[in-house]
């Protein structure tokens, strides 16, 4: 009987400990992910809150007012239509057309869920609806407005700009954009597609920008990679299927071969067959392992935004599909935000930062509720591998496929990509890169859907972004 009592006591202590651990975990999760929790399950809570609290103002990083509210609590927006459209997907809208925009994802601050007991008592004796906290974003609306003037008209896509040292998001742009004052909520499904934020929701093949990850895997796992040589004949075959290089069309007999290559020249010239060969030689498990270090197949739980999870394929892993993956195709799926993070990690010596949007939340009395604190997502590669990749990306802009992104007088590094899915007529044009300078620690991703080659269409857009950053966004010391 005594032994039974001891066992019961041990079981009770064990279960109590588990319960305490569960409660502590729940508290930590909710405290860190409260915006996500509130946004996911509390539409009714927010709707009720809107009846008694009007939303706080939203400002950009330079203090430019982007959204406010009138005395009834109705949202009002920036007067300049171009600026209003340029930040529409980041801000979101009051009717929930845009998922996880600031207006809903940061409702915790905007609608006064941080009010103290004293605040609530004071509000009872205040005329009119109390106002929630003001939110200051890391977004640079002037940069966003400028980008909106030259992104190709009639094309869909995205532009992302990150500070690779801190993770601060300067631009999170989706095209086509929309005007929250005139948008049609009752339009057709295709018309309502304008609400999709391509920067964080558009899952597409990354094309040759994924060669950053394939190269990182090769540098880590391939013996003798420093002296590796490859003879490109314009294509390679696996399972009787061909992975072709740009310009090669086997059906017409046109062959465009790169000739003798090192890993650096294969990267800068974006040789598909070389990277397909590397993937086959490494094997799927090694390439997948590296891709997962970079965040593929992870469930992103960022504090300030929701980013769709990137996918490294796990089915149908034939030799051809493995080879095709090495070149950036197969069933790979990722977002512009994630690929910008990949480029940013190279720039930041292998450390990938969590993307941030909230610069500061301030109460109506002027007290700071929250302030941005840079957070490391993870270290994705060694500093040595990052240094090698940085050199490869520099060569790509100097003499390779990314020369159209070069800005005279500045160290621009990058990687182009041309990706195709679902039998597109034209490829998606990709460019990811960064400025390798302390004064301008910025990474950029440009994606233009159904445009053509990344070097021809995305790189020139990136050049304009880089130029603006070097002329207007020098870091304070």
What is the tens place of the pLDDT at every residue in 8-22? 666 666 666 666 665
CATH number of the domain where residue 445 is located: 3.40.710.10
HEC letters along 68-104: EECCCCCEEECCCHHHHHHCHHHHCCCCCCCCCCHHH
- Whether 363 is in a domain gets the answer no
pLDDT digits (tens, 9 = 90+) for 255-309: 999 999 999 999 999 999 999 999 999 999 999 999 999 999 999 999 999 999 9
Per the CB < 8 A criterion, the answer to whether 402 and 414 are in contact is yes
| pLDDT exceeds cutoff 70 at 434 | yes
Based on the fold, state whether residues 217 and 331 are members of the same structural domain. yes
Pick from 414, 461, 409: which is nearest to 439 by CA?
409
How confident is the model at residue 188, as a pLDDT?
Answer: 77
> Helix or strand or coil: residue 373?
coil
- Whether 398 is in a domain gets the answer yes
Based on the fold, state whether residues 76 and 172 are members of the same structural domain. yes
Based on the fold, state whether residues 191 and 216 are members of the same structural domain. no
- Whether 359 is in a domain gets the answer no
Domain that holds residue 6: 2-32
DSSP H/E element including 230: strand 230-232
Based on the fold, state whether residues 428 and 315 are members of the same structural domain. yes
Based on the fold, state whether residues 169 and 65 are members of the same structural domain. yes
Per the CB < 8 A criterion, the answer to whether 473 and 140 are in contact is yes
Based on the fold, state whether residues 186 and 96 are members of the same structural domain. yes
How confident is the model at residue 95, as a pLDDT?
Answer: 81
Based on the fold, state whether residues 189 and 216 are members of the same structural domain. no
Strand residue runs (E) in 276-411: 351-353, 358-362, 368-371, 376-379
| pLDDT exceeds cutoff 80 at 193 | yes
| pLDDT exceeds cutoff 50 at 25 | no
- Whether 38 is in a domain gets the answer no
Contacts of residue 4, Cβ cutoff 8 Å, sequence gap at least 6: none
Q: For residues 54 and 44, which has the higher predicted lDDT (pLDDT)?
A: 54
Based on the fold, state whether residues 388 and 465 are members of the same structural domain. yes
Structural domains of the chain, count: 3
pLDDT band at 476 (very low <50, low <70, confident <90, very high): confident
- Whether 370 is in a domain gets the answer no
| pLDDT exceeds cutoff 50 at 29 | no
Per the CB < 8 A criterion, the answer to whether 101 and 199 are in contact is no
| pLDDT exceeds cutoff 50 at 30 | no
pLDDT band at 28 (very low <50, low <70, confident <90, very high): very low
Based on the fold, state whether residues 127 and 147 are members of the same structural domain. yes
- Whether 430 is in a domain gets the answer yes
Q: How many CA atoms lie within 13 A of 99 on its CB side?
A: 14
Q: What is the mean pLDDT of the chain?
A: 90
Q: What is the mean pLDDT of residues 88-109?
A: 91
Based on the fold, state whether residues 102 and 164 are members of the same structural domain. yes
Q: Helix, strand, coil proportions of the chain in percent (round to 5)? A: 40, 20, 40
How confident is the model at residue 310, as a pLDDT?
Answer: 98
Q: What is the mean pLDDT of residues 144-154?
A: 97
Query: Which region among 167-181, 184-198, 380-394, 455-469 has the lowest average model confidence (pLDDT)?
Result: 184-198
Structure tokens at 473: 């966004």
Q: What is the mean pLDDT of residues 219-223?
A: 94
Based on the fold, state whether residues 218 and 283 are members of the same structural domain. yes
Q: For residues 420 and 360, which has the higher predicted lDDT (pLDDT)?
A: 360
How confident is the model at residue 425, as a pLDDT?
Answer: 81
Around Cβ 226, how many Cβ atoms within 10 Å?
10
What's the rounded Cα separation, in Å, for the pair 222 and 278?
8
Long-range contact list for 61-66, CB < 8 A, 24+ apart?
61/136, 61/137, 61/138, 61/139, 61/140, 61/168, 61/170, 61/359, 62/140, 62/141, 62/142, 63/136, 64/141, 64/142, 66/91, 66/137, 66/141
- Whether 360 is in a domain gets the answer no
What's the rounded Cα separation, in Å, for the pair 107 and 98?
14
pLDDT band at 27 (very low <50, low <70, confident <90, very high): very low
Based on the fold, state whether residues 137 and 252 are members of the same structural domain. no
Q: pLDDT over 70 for what percent of the chain?
A: 87
Q: What is the mean pLDDT of residues 179-199?
A: 87
pLDDT digits (tens, 9 = 90+) for 318-343: 999 999 999 999 999 999 999 999 99
- Whether 202 is in a domain gets the answer no
């Amino acid at each position: 009987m005594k032994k039974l009592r001891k066992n019961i006591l041990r079981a009770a202590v064990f279960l109590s400990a588990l319960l305490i651990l569960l409660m502590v975990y729940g508290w930590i999760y909710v405290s860190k992910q409260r915006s996500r929790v509130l946004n996911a399950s509390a539409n009714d809570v927010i709707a009720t809150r809107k009846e008694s609290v009007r939303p706080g103002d939203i400002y950009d990083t330079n203090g430019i007012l982007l959204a406010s509210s009138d005395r009834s609590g109705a949202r009002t927006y920036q007067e300049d239509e171009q600026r209003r459209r340029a930040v529409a997907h980041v801000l979101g809208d009051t009717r929930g057309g845009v998922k996880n925009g600031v207006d809903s994802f940061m409702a915790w601050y905007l609608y006064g869920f941080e009010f103290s007991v004293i605040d609530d008592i004071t509000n009872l004796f205040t005329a009119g609806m109390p106002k929630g906290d003001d939110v200051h974003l890391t977004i640079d609306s002037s940069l966003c407005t400028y980008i909106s003037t030259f992104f190709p008209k009639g094309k869909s896509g995205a532009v992302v700009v990150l500070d690779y040292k801190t993770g601060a998001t300067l631009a999170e742009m989706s095209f086509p954009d929309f005007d929250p004052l005139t948008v049609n909520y009752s339009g057709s499904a295709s018309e309502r597609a304008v609400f999709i934020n391509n920067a964080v929701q558009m899952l597409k093949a990354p094309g040759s920008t994924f060669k950053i990850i394939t190269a990182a895997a090769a540098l880590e796992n391939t013996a003798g990679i420093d002296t590796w040589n490859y003879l490109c004949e314009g294509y390679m075959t696996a399972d009787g299927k061909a992975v072709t290089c740009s310009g090669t069309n086997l059906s017409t007999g046109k062959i465009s071969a790169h000739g003798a290559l090192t890993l650096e020249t294969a990267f800068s010239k974006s040789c598909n067959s070389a990277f397909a060969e590397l993937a086959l030689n490494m094997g799927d498990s090694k390439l997948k392992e590296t891709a997962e270090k970079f965040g593929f197949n992870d469930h992103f739980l960022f504090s300030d935004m929701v980013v769709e999870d990137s996918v490294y394929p796990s089915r149908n892993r034939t030799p051809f599909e493995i080879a095709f993956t090495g070149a950036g195709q197969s069933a790979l799926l990722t977002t512009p935000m994630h690929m910008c993070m990949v480029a940013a990690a190279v720039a930041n010596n292998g450390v990938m930062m969590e993307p941030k949007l909230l610069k500061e939340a301030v109460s109506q009395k002027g007290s700071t509720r929250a302030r941005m604190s840079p957070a490391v997502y993870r270290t994705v590669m060694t500093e040595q591998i990052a240094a090698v990749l940085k050199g490869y990306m520099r060569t790509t802009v100097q003499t390779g496929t990314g020369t159209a992104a070069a800005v005279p007088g500045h160290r621009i590094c990058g990687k182009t990509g041309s990706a195709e899915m679902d039998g597109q007529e034209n490829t998606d044009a990709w460019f990811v890169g960064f400025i390798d300078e302390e004064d301008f620690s910025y990474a950029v991703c440009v994606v233009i859907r159904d445009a053509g080659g990344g070097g021809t269409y995305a790189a020139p857009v990136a050049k304009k972004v880089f130029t603006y950053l070097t002329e207007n966004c020098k870091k304070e010391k």
